[in-house]
A and B are shown apart, each in its own frame.
Chain A
Amino acid sequence: MTPPRETVLARIRAALTDVPTLERPEDVVIDRSYRHIDDEPERARLERFIERVREYKARVKVARADDLSRAIAESCAERGVARLVTPADLPDGWAPPGVELIREPGLTNDELERSDGVLTACALGIAQTGTVVLDSGPGQGRRAISLVPDYHLCVVFDRQVVGLVPEAVVRLQAAAESPARPITFISGPSATSDIELNRVEGVHGPRTLEVIVVTELDVS
C-alpha cells in the first residue's frame, strides 16, 4: 500500500498538469501595492492606537516614563489586585508596592488561576487595529501567564507602537522563525460574537485588559 504522503503528493501533481513544468512559484505575480508604512506623525499614530484599544472596551491610561511605577500601582489599587503575577524578568521599578508578587518561573496553573492579575511588557503595539503583540521577549514571560489570570495589565512604550499591520509583521520575522518565541496578538479583552453575532467581552481569556501607554508626548 502506498503511504498517504506519497498518495497525496501524487494526486496533487496529477491535478496540476496544466501548470507548465518550467513555471516557478515566483512567476505567479503577487502585486503588493497595499500600504506598508503609515506616514502619520507619531502623535497622531499614538492617539489612534489609544482610541482603537479603547474601542475594544479595554482600559487605557497614559503615563510619563518617570511616572510609570506610580501608574502601575494606581491601576493595581483601582482593580483591588492583592496577588500579581509577573514574569521572571520584570523590569526594575515596575513592581507595585503593597502588592504580593507571584513571580515566575515555575508557577502552576493553579497559582495563576488564584492570582488577581498579571503585569507584562509587550513587543509591539499596532495603531491601525488597536492591537498589542507579545512575542515572548523581555518582560513578557511565557504564554500562560498572560492568559489564565482574569486581569492583564500591559505596558507599551510609544516607540513600540507601529502604524500598520505590515510594519508589525516585518518586525516579528525573527520571532516567527524561532521556536522559543511564540507570538500572540491581543486586541481587547477576550470576547465572543457567537450569540446573535454581537460582540460581548469576557469569555476564557482575561476579562479585563488594561494598557498603560508610556510617552512624553501630550496625548490622552
Chain B
Amino acid sequence: MARHDPTTNAELMSREGVPPLPTKQPAMSFQDAAKLSLGDSQLRFNMGKATNTIRGKRVKVVEEMPDWEALREAGRAIKDRTLRHLDKYLLQFEASVARVGGKIHWAADADDANRIVADLVKAQGAKEVVKIKSLTTDEIGLNEALAREGITAHETDLAELIIQLADERSSHILVPAIHKSRAEIRELFRRTLENTEELTDDPRALAAAARAHLRKKFLTVPVAVSGVNFGVAETGTVCIVESEGNGRMCLTLPKVLISVMGIEKVVPTWRDMEVYLQLLPRSSTAERMNPYTSFWTGIAPPGDGPDEFHVILLDDGRSKVLTDRVGRQALACIRCSACLNICPVYERTGGHAYNSVYPGPIGAILTPQLVGVENAGSLPYASSLCGACYEVCPVKINIPEVLVHLRGKVVRKKQETLRGQLAPENVAMKTLGRVFASPRRYAAMQKMGRQGQKLMVKGGVIERIPGYLGGWTSVRDVYPIAPQTFREWWKQRERKVLPKQPPREETRP
C-alpha cells in the first residue's frame, strides 16, 4: 500500500513503504518534497559541508592530470561504442564468463533478478547474505524481496549500514548517509549496536564500531551479493571498486558470490580499464586511487574465493533508455557522483527529494527514463540548467541537453490528454508560440504589454506579476518592456540621405 505523501523531512527520509524508483504511482513532486528538505537546517548544514569538502578535493586531483580531457573523451567514446553494439558485447561477456567457470543469468526486470538471487541463496540453505554496496540491488529492492523469503541481507558498506540501521533511504549514490553528521551517526550506533556505550563521534571510532559489528558476518555467512562496476567482455573479468575492504571480504570469504550487473556495465576490452581506473576514483571520492579495486575472472583455484560465481544481467528499463537517441547517453554513467557533489540544487535539497535511488542530476535524467516521464515528470525540472554537471562528468554525459529533451517529453505527454491541452500553461505556451511566429503579432503584443504593465512597474522593475505567472516573480524581478523597442526605433529613426559620392578614381602608376 502506498503511504500518504510525507509532511516532514523525517518522513521524507524514511524507508517505510517507499519503492526504490517511483514506478507504481506518480511520486510527490520534486519541488514539493524539496520544500520539506529545505526546512531542515541540520540537513542543509550537513549537505553543504560534505559537498564543499569533496568539490575542493576533486578539483585538486583532476588538475594534476595533464590528460584529463583526453581521458574523458576516451571514456565517453568507449561507452558509446559499447552501447551502440550492446547485444554483441553482452553475448561476448556471457561466453567469456562461462569459459572461466561463472554462470550468467538474464533478468528482464527487477522481479526476475530478485527471484534468481533468492533461489540461489535458498539452494545453499542459507538464511543470510552479506552485501557489498550496490545501487543496482537498491534499485530492484533486493533486500526487501529477500526479507519476504525469510532471508536477511546485511549491508557491509559503512554508509549503507548506517541507513539500514536508521531505516532511512539513501540520499547519495556513493555515500548514502551523506545527510548524516558524525554526531547523528554516533547516536544511531549507540542505539543499535552492542558495546557502544563509550562510543565517541570521532569518525575513526565510528568506523571501528562498524568493523567490530560486521567482522563475524564476513567470516561465517556463506553467500555474498555484489553489484558490478565493470564487466569486461573480452576476458569475462568483473571489477569492484571500493574503499573499506568490505568488498574484498565479500568477494573472497563466502562460498557463493552473486553479482548483479546492469547490462550497461559491460566494457569491450581489458585495456579499457586503464581509462576508467583513472576517471572513476578522482571523480568520486577525489582520490588518485580508491583503497581497493578487485578484479576476478571466473572461479579462482580452491581456497581462493568462492566455489560458485553467478552474474545476473539486468535490464529493468535500461533497454527503454537505450531506445532514446538523446537520452541513451545516461547509460554511460559510471556512478561516480561528481554531478551530485557539484549541483547547486542537490547541495541544498539533498537526495531524498528526488524520490529515487538515483538522485541528483544523473538521477534527474535516469529515473524518468527508467520509469517513464508520467511517473517522474517533475525531475527534469529539478535543475537550473547551469551545466556544472556536464563539466565534471568523467564520461561527458550532456546532462543539461537530456534534461531539456525530457522536459519536451513531459510537455508532449501532458498534451496527450484533453485536460492537459486545456491547462493554462499549455494554452499560454501555445499562444506565445503563435505570437513569436509572426513579427506583426509580436509587435502588437509588445504594445499591449506596455499598456498593461503600467500599474506594475516600480523603480524600473516589475517585482510581482499577479495570477498564474506569479510563481516566476516570487524569486526574481522582471524588467519591463522598453518604452521604445529596437524595431520601433529602427522604423522611426531619422534617415539622413547622404549625398551621392562620385566613384573613386583608380590610381594608375
Partners in one complex: yes
Q: Could you tell me if A173 and B288 are in contact, using CB atoms closer than 8 angstroms?
A: no
By beta carbon, the residue of chain B nearest A143 is B252
Question: Is B289 an interface position by the 8 A CB rule?
Answer: yes
Bound-complex Cα distance A13 to B252 (A): 36
Bound-complex Cα distance A184 to B242 (A): 11
By beta carbon, the residue of chain A nearest B252 is A143
Bound-complex Cα distance A143 to B290 (A): 18
Known: A169-B277, A191-B243. A204 touches B218 (CB 8 A): yes
| Binding-face segment, A66-74, A95-103, A192-200, A212-220 | A192-200
Q: Which of B87, B157, B289 has a CB less than 8 Å from the CB of A13?
A: B87
Known: A28-B81, A34-B70, A176-B237. A190 touches B263 (CB 8 A): no
Q: Could you tell me if B325 and A18 are in contact, using CB atoms closer than 8 angstroms?
A: yes
Q: Which of A12, A147, A165, A206 has a CB less than 8 Å from the CB of B86?
A: A12
By size class, the interface of chain B is 35 or more
Interface residues of A in 20-35 (CB under 8 A from B): 23-26, 28-35
By beta carbon, the residue of chain A nearest B109 is A4
Interface residues of B in 69-101 (CB under 8 A from A): 70-71, 73-74, 77-78, 80-81, 84-91, 100-101
Give chain B residues whose Cβ lies under 8 Å from the Cβ of A15.
Answer: 319-320, 322-323, 328
Question: Is B355 an interface position by the 8 A CB rule?
Answer: no
Give chain A residues whose Cβ lies under 8 Å from the Cβ of B304.
Answer: 136, 142-144, 182
Q: Could you tell me if B291 and A189 are in contact, using CB atoms closer than 8 angstroms?
A: yes
| Binding-face segment, B199-207, B403-411, B421-429 | B199-207
Known: A8-B315, A8-B319, A13-B87. A176 touches B270 (CB 8 A): yes
Question: Is B303 an interface position by the 8 A CB rule?
Answer: yes
Q: Which of B81, B107, B293, B294 has a CB less than 8 Å from the CB of A30?
A: B81
Known: A35-B67, A179-B297. A113 touches B77 (CB 8 A): no
Give chain B residues whose Cβ lies under 8 Å from the Cβ of A105.
Answer: 303
Interface residues of B in 247-294 (CB under 8 A from A): 248-249, 251-253, 263, 268, 270-271, 273-275, 277-278, 281, 285, 287-294
Give chain B residues whose Cβ lies under 8 Å from the Cβ of A130.
Answer: 288-289
Interface residues of B (CB under 8 A from A): 46, 49-51, 53-54, 66-67, 70-71, 73-74, 77-78, 80-81, 84-91, 100-101, 105-108, 112, 156-159, 162, 175, 177-178, 181-182, 185, 203-204, 206-208, 210-211, 214-215, 218-219, 232, 235, 237, 243-246, 248-249, 251-253, 263, 268, 270-271, 273-275, 277-278, 281, 285, 287-301, 303-305, 313, 315, 319-320, 322-323, 325, 328
